Structure 1
Amino acid sequence: MSNSKQLKIGALLGSLNGAGAENTILTLCAEFVRAGHMVSLFTLSRHADYQAPSNLHVISLDCENKKKAKPLLAAHTAAERFDLFITSKPEFYDSITADVKICSVHITPTAWITTPKRQFIKRYFKIRKLAKKYKGKKLVALSEGIRRDLIENLNCKPEQISVIPNPYNIDYLRTSADQQGDLPSAPYAVYVASLINRKRHRDLLKAFALMPNSDLNLVLIGKGKEELALKAFAKELGIDKRVIFWGWDANPYRIIKNAKLSILASEAEGLPRVVIESLIIGTPVVSTDCPSGPKEVLTGDFRQYLVPIGDIKLLSKTMSNALSHYPDISTLDISKYAASRVAREYLKIAVPK
């Protein structure tokens, strides 16, 4: 086979929920369709924040129970005879029938283990369970940090793993950023992230409260179970009048473009989409140096805008510095993140020369 042949490609997501893995797989599927391949995207749930392109075949298994969903997926894939199938869910890997199947790893697996290191027995069994989950599978890691974690901590074989970054439709992002829509009325910094503990909004709120620039607002785009607690915490810090809980927005890119600064305060990522999206749009970024991804993106002169996780004072100082001085974003090479280039890297796995 050659890469010019029309391929039958499948992919699996839990849903089209507004999160990073979902955006990555959806963007990849849309690019495969644009390149002329036949693509079917399976979801376990009908829930959708993202809208799939009309020319993408979306099949909802309408079954979030894993035990019941696995045979449904197995029946579909056995009947369809896919050339390539991509899933972000390793637990479904063995239920898939395809000439080539890939498990894409969107997170740094062991960074998600919250059990304290002193509870080494609990940690040991969690790591052992993770290692079993990825054992023997063909993997795509979104960053070198994920790849290292898979090899060093989960005993995956280097030959199992290809490193391919998130795909981005660069023209779409920039066009969306120019669209009209509601915007905050005062100058602001923005953080696009689900309102969950891992994203460490509390660290950001504390750092924001320390900043001397009282004319700046903070816009939090996203939804999640921590919203009420975070609103109360902002009030406790005395900054509730300057913190805007924007909620979910189908087009956050116009808000990112008009922000003075885009922030990532997370404690664990894979290859954080918002960092790259902000740079594509042209907005300065300050990020925690979390595992993994940010330090692979913010390189050279941009490395000074990486902050250790939990260093509130330095995060505040770095945000202030970024507002007054930031390197020329156009000097960063973003071509490797283009959706067309990323899709070709996946096809090289399916159709080796």
Structure 2
Amino acid sequence: MKNVAVIIDSLAGGGAERVMLTLAQEMIAQGNTVTFFSLKENVEHIVPDSIDVVFPFKGNKPSLRSWFSGHRHAAVLSAAIKAAEKQQQPFDLVLVNLLESYRLAHLINLKKCFYVIHNSFNIELQREKLMGPIKYWYMRKIIKRMSDKQLVAVSDGVAQELKTASLYNPSSVTTIYNPFDIARIKSLSNKTTERLPLEKYILHVGRAAKAKRHDILFAALKLIESPIKLVCLAGNTKKLRKLSEKMGVSDRLILPGFTTNPYPWIKNAELLALSSDFEGLPTVLIEAIVCGTKVVSTNCPHGPNEILLDDLSQYLVPPQDPHQLAIAINNALKANVNLTDATILGKINAKDVTKSYLALC
């Protein structure tokens, strides 16, 4: 039996959080123990009782995004980890996820520690540069800390970027695809929900963040031949409503908000669209394929071109091009697409992925 720690910024409704929860559930099913250390008390996903969750800063709500308080915050996190080890046993594996967790974990002497990289650092850094020198400097300093670290990349594209980086020099880079409990996804997709639209719809699942490029998706929506509705599953509905009104598509938009079970929405959609500027290994594309739902995606770095292989590659389009995105959506809506034998399904089984992670111990 292995004892595994997962350090993560929060348990908000993002893909990295869902990936780690899926991994933890399968690790526990294989007889191991898992403890999450969540820097923020923001919990939107359903966390099974079998997973221990520790909030090192519970009740404090500190401003974690502050370089000058890093050592103080790292000491609090370190104390929480040591307390958990005292109650159980030393951790055999520590998995660190997302930026603030990377920053604090770097300041702690953690054994068997791997940093899981879920996105393209290069493009994130380029975007922060546009936001101003302070944000750029802050992120750049965190990313530089990847030198001499053991990294896990969630796709071959991310791995290649990490291996060829000039800003840092990791001690190792291992590619492990994200885990998917295929039977569970199919089961959850059959759950009934009264909130599903009665009319046909296409679907986008993802945070209301700039990198997801809802503006590109809304522009494409105006060019689609069919008057089909677009459902966006995201927490910040106010932000998306405002953007849709600005772009003249609010009458075509359905905003149910965040849901802990997106799978009935995915299964019943005519198509799932992804319009991102960058990803790591976009979870929703694989979940849609598992549910038998057609997909169209930007061919952004990284991951979509490792998921939409063979005949599915025709549904990859250049990023930031609403015209091409609309054309692909039009074509996919008319097509019969067989997803049962999609190549990616043989690479993401939770049992096998979990064994790859445990082999790091």
TM-score of the superposition, structure 1-length normalised? Answer: 0.89
Deviations 1:87-113 (A, max 9, x none): 113213235555411110111111112
What residue is the counterpart of 2:81 in the other structure?
77
SS class of match (1:22):
helix
Read off the aligned partner of 2:305 and give its amino acid letter: K
Aligned pair 1:87/2:96, yes or no? yes
Gaps of 5+ in 1: 1-5
Aligned mate of 2:233, from 218, 221, 241 = 221
AA matched with 1:289: N
Aligned length in residues: 342
2:17 is paired with a residue of what secondary structure?
Answer: helix
Whether the 8 Å contact between 2:153 and 2:174 is mirrored in structure 1 is: yes
| 1:246 alignment counterpart | 256
Alignment of 1:168-183 (within 5 A): 168-181=180-193, 182-183=195-196
Contact 1:272 1:293 in 2 (8 A): yes
CA contact (8 A) 1:110 1:127 kept: no
User: What displacement does 1:75 show?
Assistant: 2.2
Which residue number in structure 1 is paired with residue 67 of structure 2?
none
Secondary structure in 1 matching 2:145: helix
Greater Cα offset, 83-92 or 171-180: 83-92
Aligned to 1:3: none
Q: Name the SS of the counterpart of 1:247 in structure 2.
A: coil
- State the match for 2:303 in structure 1: 293
Q: Which moved more, 1:328-337 or 1:253-262?
A: 328-337
Residue among 33, 52, 56 paired with 2:51: 56
Task: Give 1:25 shift.
Answer: 1.2
Confirm whether residue 25 of structure 1 aligns to residue 25 of structure 2: no
Gaps of 5+ in 2: 65-69
Q: Is the aligned partner of 1:339 residue 2:344?
A: no
Task: Give the % identical residues.
Answer: 30
| Alpha-carbon distance between aligned partners in 1 of 2:61 and 2:176, rounded to the nearest angstrom | 28
Q: 1:150 maps to which residue?
A: 162
Q: Using the alignment, how far apart are the partners of 1:123 and 1:329 within structure 2?
A: 41
Q: Which residue identity is paired with 1:39?
A: V
Which of 209, 218, 221 aligns to 1:208? It is: 221
Q: Which residue of 1 aligns with 2:314?
A: 304
The one-letter amino acid paired with 1:7 is K
Alignment of 1:268 onto 2:278: yes
| Corresponding residue SS for 1:86 | strand
Distance 1:343 1:109 in 2: 25
The aligned runs of 1:29-44 (5 Å cut-off) are 29-44=24-39
- In structure 2, what is the Cα distance between the partners aligned to 1:122 and 1:12? 25
Contact 2:106/2:145 (CA < 8 Å) preserved in 1? no
Distance 1:22 1:153 in 2: 25
Question: Is the counterpart of residue 278 in structure 1 residue 288 in structure 2?
Answer: yes
Indicate the residue corresponding to 1:184 in structure 2.
Answer: 197
User: What is the CA–CA distance in structure 2 between the aligned matches of 1:346 and 1:123, rounded to whole Å?
Assistant: 32
CA drift of 1:237 comes to 4.5
